[in-house]
Amino acid sequence: MTFERKNIREMVGYIPGEQPESSDVIKLNTNENPFGPSPAVQKALLEINTDSLRCYPQPTAINLRNAIATHHGIDKDNIIVTNGGDELLRLAINTFVEADEAIAVAEPTYTLYEVLAQAHGCKYIRFSLNKDWSLPDNFAKSLNSSNIKLCLLPNPHAPSGTLLSVDELAAIANEFNGLLLIDEAYVDFIDPNLDHDCIELLKQFNNVLLLRTFSKGYSLAGLRIAYGIGDLSIITPMQAKTKDSYNTDYIAQKLAQAALEDQVYAKKSWNFVRSQKAILKDALTDLGLNSVDSQSNFLLVNVPELINAEKLYNGLKQHGILVRHFNHEGQDNFLRITVGGADENQRLLSTLKQLLMNS
């Protein structure tokens, strides 16, 4: 006998990236920042009075929201702080999508989206990306034709790292009748010369919700803290009705604010990742492993069929290096490799060279 709802019983849960048991393993499979958090985070942690932990945290993370508002030049009421970006995704689905309505994605995409849709019990509609990872023509028109209530778009895209421009996203938001959630988990790694800023979309459209996280750009994946930005009609029902009363803890709120306010350190880490990514991309190309132009902190590497991506993944793993291999149709000849520290990247490259010579 089982007490699970039918849709829960039939679904397959999300499988996170492998977590190694040994500290000797180089972990390039979950897109973490090779830099540690800002020294300001360590200072804020040491200054926390543990007596404060006997009380509940501020329910809407007001101080952090004020800091985020100042950082982006927006009103605090347009911000909701969540327990990781995944909670914001769940809140958006629970708050805005009826069980008989549909969510849409452009595949390949972040596999958690489908898991959340299955758990909610709503429809999940897939549109296929073009071979160059761009959106199909007339994407917004197709969304409307399918009566889509919520569209989830990671940008920079996962798993490719490609970027939709603000103008492209504005055109979708303008035509789309539903809610457009732009998952900007990797936004901090975008080349600043592109002057990419989706905050501007919020001044034009009331159907756009942006997801930002401290996990990647601020090296705080272990804290599980993120935030959403949108029109009051989007933020208010999540903030006042569907969010857990105390969804983010006191320590996470304090440390995230410290990280956000140290922009000098944050930008230093982003610049480091960009420079290492360029070096890594060129070196991989020299090895015959071409990768997609990425605006994230990872590279999606195309492995020739004769070499076999899964075999290469397993070979790296045997040498203590974890990367990500998605055993899905259309992705099985790719490896996703997080940009690591300089020494980690060099060890990856030397190991790859050895494996390729022996293949």
Structural domains in the chain, CATH included, are 6-37+264-357 (3.90.1150.10), 39-262 (3.40.640.10)
Helices (H), 22-163: 39-46, 62-72, 84-96, 112-120, 139-145
DSSP conformation class of 245 = T
Please, is 279 exposed, middle or buried when counting C-beta atoms within 10 Å of its C-beta (0-12, 13-18, 19+)?
middle
3-state secondary structure of 58: coil
Strand pairing class (298-302; 334-338):
antiparallel
Rounded to 5 degrees, what are φ and ψ at 5?
-65, 155
Strand pairing class (179-183; 148-154):
parallel
154-157 contact pairs (CB < 8 A, 24+): 154/109, 154/110, 154/182, 154/183, 154/185, 154/186, 155/182, 155/183, 155/184, 155/187, 155/198, 156/184, 156/186, 156/187, 156/189, 156/190, 156/294, 156/295, 156/296, 157/109, 157/133, 157/296
CA dist., res. 181 & res. 148, Å (int): 12
- For 43, the token pair is 């200072």
- For 140, the token pair is 């917004």
The pLDDT assigned to 1 comes to 67
Q: Which residues of the chain have pLDDT under 70?
A: 1
Residue 126 contacts residue 265 (beta carbons within 8 Å): no
3-state secondary structure of 73: coil
The pLDDT assigned to 15 comes to 82
Rounded to 5 degrees, what are φ and ψ at 174?
-65, -35
pTM > 0.85: yes or no: yes
Residue 300 contacts residue 291 (beta carbons within 8 Å): yes
Cα of 13 vs its chain's centroid, Å: 18
Please, is 227 exposed, middle or buried when counting C-beta atoms within 10 Å of its C-beta (0-12, 13-18, 19+)?
buried
CB atoms within 10 A of CB 271: 12
